[in-house]
Structure 1
Amino acid sequence: MHRIRATLVASATVFVMASAQAGAAEIAVIVKTVNSTFWQNVQKGADAGVASLPEGTTISFDGPASEAAIADQVNMVENAINRKVAGIVLAPSDPDALVPAIKKAWEARIPVVLIDSMLAESGEKYYQAFLATDNRKAGELCAKVLIDKIGSEGKIAIMSYVAGVGSEVGRVGGFTDYVKANSKLEIVGPFYSQSQMATALNQTTDILTSNPDLKGIFGANEPTAIGMGRALAQTGKVGKVVGVGFDGNEDLQGFVKDGTLAAIAVQGSFQMGELGVQTIGKLLGKEKVEKTIDTGVIVVTKDNIDQPEAKNVLY
């Protein structure tokens, strides 16, 4: 799987719609799970994005019950293709498993815009644009914040989510490589919560118990970071173990405000939905679009959480 590049690459070839699709007006937005405020904020962005498209264009919003339900997401993509939607905005839960379905969309001349996570290289020709946080850069940023807080020696833990997902590979890979290149910190993990808050809570509790000398900990996505924060609070480790999380729902904002977490790295989830739908609109209008678009990340701390830069991405 290739890494996300921070710079924009050459413009993608205009995707030519088949005449059979010309009258279709539904854009299917399919995310990793509907049971997350992060993805619900993507939906809000998609709703805003459709307002700028031609009258009559609608969006449908769907996703599995959990990020680990990959087969369910594949079925949702195939169902969208079968009902001849105008375009698909997809956050793939698995880099390999979604490739055959996206190939079917390509064969049906249905444009596909990926958000958040990349497909395997074998699927690169089948989608027209990729909008996401530069996850590798974001992971490096989280590592820098943690090192700034705890120093360059000691032990830290990585609490991750679903192994092999594009965003996870970039985010945790960037974090790990930065730590190894810029410190002598010992890394425990990563541990995978499968994006289940309760699992992350139990895993973090076990790690804190078995590693009493732990100085810092990184929670790599929303449910994982929430579980991690709750474990820090329940075990009395707030102020003793420095936590850095990822994403920015109300739970995580509360952890920053009360000092449970030192910082959270927040993606432009609203922008992913809005720009994803708008990019489909451009493709339907036969406009050229960039193949890769960075939607950004902001580090939110107690010092800036009430500032405009943070409020624009928190949800």
Structure 2
Amino acid sequence: MHSPLRPLRPLRHLLAAALAALCATGHAGEIAVIVKTTNSTYWQNVNKGAEAAMKDVPGHTMTFAGPASESAIAEQVNLVENAVNRRVAGIVLAPSDPDALVPVMKKAWEARIPVVLIDSQVAEAGRKYYQSFLTTDNRAAGELCAKQLIAKVGTTGKVAIMSYVAGAGSEVDRVGAFKNYLKANSKLQVVGPFYSQSQMATAMNQTTDLLAAHRDLKGIFGANEPTAVGMGRAIVQAGRAGKLVAVGFDGNQDLQKFVQDGTLTGIAVQGSFQMGELGVKTVNDLLQKKPVPKFRDTGVVWVDKANLETPEARAVLY
């Protein structure tokens, strides 16, 4: 007599095989976007760009994650490690530190998970572990800010640099080029850089102290979004708005208001939306075995009161 359970055996085998396949692939349809922090409108704008790109990426989902702050580097390493462990389809990564992310990027490379970097570079040792790097040309952007400062301040006097995270790839290029351009093209004395750790309140306190200690300051540069916002607020509070040349970086609502009211002379604005959008599109191209460029410049736009409302400025402001 045949057991009634016998016909179910092939089905059990099929289910077991399907489960094994699922465990092997994990979240095969997930594109993980991992940024320096989620607590910033700049990175939220990267997220908007990534979400926009997902409309043209059928069969995949997207996750967006980042540490509580840009200086929480170990937390970012863990986020990438977790993405590799759950075998995502691809990773879009804005590395907080040029060295710390290299070992975990190697793990992604060994797991054949494509990695597309945005915003910041990694050390030479990590360059074979990513397939494409999409960023502002931070050297060119730093020079642009230095040129604008010299145009308003002149070539003598004292200027200050309010920076963010020492050693971050974008910071090294951006602030380095800013300093080098001033040195080569002026006799300006530089105070700083001061590092805010990308904390607006820290930048505000540092700028308040700086303005009190250096009454003769002629110009000041805030090198990323939270730093420039904190710097702008301190300038207003100290009654120095319009009395010294202040140059900012990035383009959220606060910074746009500072340009509008003259607290800031101008801002260099990156294509943050474009970074997120192109990051996801580039991962999708890699998954489809299409060729992608190893480097792509996502551009920077100088925005001041004269062009604040133009289409070119509106395309990058957020």
Question: Given the alignment, which residue of 81, 84, 89 partners 2:87?
Answer: 84
Q: Report deviation, 1:103.
A: 0.4
What are the superposed Cα offsets for residues 19-66 of structure 1, whole Å, 9 maximum, x if unpaired? Answer: x6598111000000000000000000000111112x221110000000
Q: Encode CA deviations 1:269-312: one digit per residue, 9 max, x unaligned.
A: 00000000000000000011100000000010000000000000
1:45 aligns with 2:60: no
**3-state SS of paired residue (2:70):** coil
Letter in 2 for 1:293: R
Q: 1:258 aligns with which of 238, 258, 261?
A: 261
Q: Structure 1 residues 104, 80: CA separation in 2 closer, same or farther (over 3 Å shift)? A: same
**CA contact 2:29–2:59 (8 Å) conserved in 1:** yes
**Following the alignment from structure 1 to structure 2, what is the Cα–Cα distance between the partners of residues 59 and 183?**
47
Q: Which protein is bigger by CA-based radius of gyration?
A: 2
Instruction: Please tell me the residue identity of whatever aligns with 2:117.
Output: L
Out of 92, 97, 106, the position equivalent to 1:103 is 106
Q: Does 2:232 match 1:229? A: yes
Partner amino acid for 2:87?
K
| Residues 1:171 and 2:177 aligned together | no
**Paired position in structure 1 for 2:29:** 25
Residue 153 (structure 1) aligns with: 156
TM-score (ref. length: structure 1): 0.92
Does residue 137 of structure 1 match 2:140? Answer: yes
CA distance in 1: counterparts of 2:117 and 2:92, whole angstroms: 6
Residue 26 of structure 2 contacts residue 87 of structure 2 at CA under 8 Å; is this kept in 1?
A: no
Query: Does the CA contact (< 8 Å) of 2:26 and 2:86 recur in 1?
Result: no
Amino acid at match of 2:286: L
Q: Which amino acid aligns with 1:43?
A: N
Distance 2:213 2:159 in 1: 12
Give percent identity, aligned residues only. Answer: 72
1:277 is aligned to 2:280: yes
Cα distance in 2 for residues equivalent to 1:287 and 1:21: 21
- Structure 1 counterpart of 2:301: 298
Which structure ranks higher in relative contact order (CA pairs < 8 Å, sequence separation ≥ 6)? 1
How many Å separate the matches in 1 of 2:125 and 2:138? 20
- Supply the distance in 2 between the matched residues of 1:238 and 1:246 (Cα, whole angstroms): 17
Secondary structure, counterpart of 2:139 in structure 1:
helix
Query: d(CA) in 2 for partners of 1:182 and 1:22?
Result: 55
Name 1:204's counterpart in structure 2. 207
Residue-by-residue CA offset, 1:63-114 (whole Å, 9 max, x unaligned): 0000010010000000001111000000000000000010000000000000
Query: What TM-score comes out, normalization by structure 2 length?
Result: 0.92
Q: 2:76 aligns with which of 58, 73, 78?
A: 73
Partner of 2:291: 288
Structure 1: stretches of 5+ with no match in the other structure: 1-19
Counterpart Cα distance in 1 of 2:224 and 2:25: 37
Shift of 1:251: 0.3
Moved over 4 A (4+): 20-23
Q: Separation in 1 of the partners of 2:248 and 2:34?
A: 25
Amino acid in structure 2 at the alignment position of 1:44:
K
Question: Following the alignment from structure 2 to structure 1, what is the Cα–Cα distance between the partners of residues 281 and 242?
Answer: 44
Structure 2: distance between partners of 1:21 and 1:261: 51
3-state SS in 2 of match to 1:288? coil
Query: For 2:253 and 2:69, how far apart are their aligned partners in 1?
Result: 20
Q: Which amino acid letter does the alignment assign opposite residue 28 of structure 2?
A: A
Distance (whole Å) between structure 1 residues aligned to residue 117 and residue 151 of structure 2: 34
Aligned mates of 2:124, 2:25 — CA distance in 1: 27
Q: CA deviation at 1:115?
A: 0.2
Unmatched tracts of structure 2, length 5 or more: 1-23
Displacement of 1:268 in angstroms is 0.1
Amino acid at match of 1:45: G
CA shift in 2, pair 1:244/1:30, >3 Å = same
Opposite residue 77 of structure 1, the aligned amino acid is V
- Shift in Å at residue 208 of structure 1? 0.7
* Distance of 2:104 and 2:152 partners within structure 1: 44
RMSD of aligned alpha carbons: 1.0
How far apart are 1:260 and its partner, in Å? 0.4
Count matched residues. 295
